[in-house]
Amino acid sequence: MSSINSLPSFTKALTAFCLVLLVYLFLPDSLSSLSQILKYLLIIGIIILLMMSNKALGQIASPQESVPASKSSVGNDSYSIESNTTTNLYDNLKKLVLSTTTALNPSFKSAIYIIDPENNVFSLQESNGEEFKDSIPINNSIINSVLQKTNTVYQKDDVLAWDDLFGSKPWRGSECIIGSSINMHGTVAGFVLTRIDHFSDIADRDKPVLNSLGKFITYGLESLESLEKHINGEENKARILDLLSNLNFKSDETQILNHFKFLIRTFFNYDILTLSLSENDDTSSIIKIRDGLKDEFEKDTKFPTNGTLHGLPTINGETILTQNWKDSHPNISRFRSSETETESQSVLGVPVMIDGECNGSLFLERVSGRPYTTADQKNLELIGRVLGNSLHWLYEYEKIYRDATHDGLSNLLNHQTFKDQFSEEIQRAKRFQHNMAVLMFDLDKFKRINDSLGHPYGDYVIQTVAKIMVKNVRTIDVVARYGGEEFAIILINTTAEMGLVVAQRIVDNIADYPFSMNGETVQMTISGGMSEYPTHSEDSKNLIDLADKAMYASKQNGGNGIIIYNNENHVVEEKHEN
């Protein structure tokens, strides 16, 4: 508010100066002595006005008032959250973690604790349940187990320590907690604690997410710490904080990269912006962000990491700051040796670190020779670090989610996730009055493969069959490994008659495929059965059972075929039982 208060004084001084100037301009020559005095007054007035204008403009450019630091101890160091925007982001981060547990299961209750070494306790930061205590002694045995990677602890295992956490009251013994540690600078800073009233409420896919919540707090705190240490000016800091506040566990890579592209636009003046990330083979990189002047290297272009300007930060982890890159790096090209000559001169390129490793580079280029400054370098290096943390956050969450929902061998949905998604698809089909075809498949005489050729060959067959199935359905359809050599498919908005074409194509493609590994060639066939929603049933379990019975009828007919369930299914059931 001080900038606003200073403006009336500046206006009055400017008005007085203008009046003196008018008197001076129209003063008669006969009053030369007065004219001399007014001249000096005008010179003094100009100096005063310049000083007042600089002060007023400076206050307008930096209107933020100082904010008292809010501190919370982390490890043996004192971690300081120094601004309103930083505090808001930390609050958002805590709420995001807690909302994640609620999204997994509304009955789950979680709390975030940070260490307070002076009082020898862990202090409660945030929770979504009233049962969590404000502080927990550092020597609590359950917490020690959690911090030593024993992620799940049951109430009956340590009754006294449990009462330290939640109070002494009648417990059923089925309660348990899952913990995840928060680490800073290699030491424990705290943990996320989730309490489950009955251990059977935890789905297999929930555990990896709950076990990793502390990591997300760690990434957020590391980003905040980098901001406090390396960024100058509340306005610049607020831009990055605003971006981080808009990122969450469900952001995909494109969303995150677009956020950063717009952030960089607000920070820097450039002609070309390029972000590239390493490919899995570590010898090539792919352009993920491209902004500014157009040339032959657009988004999704691949280029060799070694021997290129844009690959250097990825290779050596060092920043490139040069007014003319052709002079400073004469023996390399930007992306490829065969590229068209570019007009860009000034270059600023920084590495993108993901989980402590150089995984890409972030480059700014100018056609003019106007150089980037060391302040630009510090800002871009910070943005590169925050970008790397955000991508690591994304990849870790995607990995956790994939491990929890997909079969590790076939990369298809696993049994439980298929059932969960099937229930969701039924609700959607009810809402839009759509049909669905449900297919159950089972490989014919698969046991002979494992017995005669070994399990690695059997794994190869499972993986190949999974790829054939995915290739022959649409992206909206659901494909799962139901168990062993059994597969399940849901064809969305499709009748059984329509789905018969897809099912028969899958059967034929598997029968025709040349399965060959380590010089051993085999022929495989598969049998399938199909039911239809809502014609045969509106219940997911019944639909699977009916399709399963039809599939066994196909096996009874010699296999290598597909049968649609019909109302004479009791005959199929008898064949299945025999």
Instruction: Label each residue of 279-297 as H, E or C.
Output: CCCCCEEEEEEEEECCCCC
- The residue with greater pLDDT, 389 or 143, is 143
- Which pLDDT score, from 0 to 100, does residue 251 have? 67
Q: Report the pLDDT averaged over residues 363-383.
A: 90
Give pLDDT, residue 329. 93
pLDDT at 359 over 50: yes
The predicted pLDDT at position 64 comes to 38
Instruction: Write down the pLDDT at residue 65.
Output: 35
Select from 467, 418, 426, 465 the least CA-distant residue to 442: 465
pLDDT in tens, 31-56: 555 555 555 555 555 545 444 444 44
This prediction has a pTM of 0.56
CA–CA separation, 577 and 571 (whole Å):
10
- Does the pLDDT of residue 327 top 90, yes or no? yes
Angle at 20 between CA 17 and CA 24, to 5 degrees: 135
Structure tokens, 438? 């449900």
The fold for domain 415-577 equals Alpha-Beta Plaits (3.30.70)
- Report whether CATH 3.30.450.40 matches the domain 246-401: yes
- What does the alpha-carbon distance between residue 266 and residue 269 come to, in Å, rounded to a whole number? 8
**Would you list the domain boundaries of the chain?**
2-61, 71-221, 246-401, 415-577
pLDDT digits (tens, 9 = 90+) for 527-558: 999 999 999 999 999 999 999 999 999 999 99
246-401 and 415-577, same CATH topology: no
Cα angle 223, 66, 185 (rounded to 5 degrees) comes to 25
Name the helix (H) or strand (E) containing 447.
Answer: helix 447-453
Judged against a pLDDT cut of 80, whether residue 488 lies above it is answered with yes
Distance CA 129, CA 66 (A): 34
The Cα–Cα gap between 133 and 91 comes to: 19
* Superfamily grouping for domain 71-221: GAF domain (3.30.450.40)
Tokens 């992620």: give the residue: 151
Count the residues in the chain. 578
At residue 439, the pLDDT reads: 97
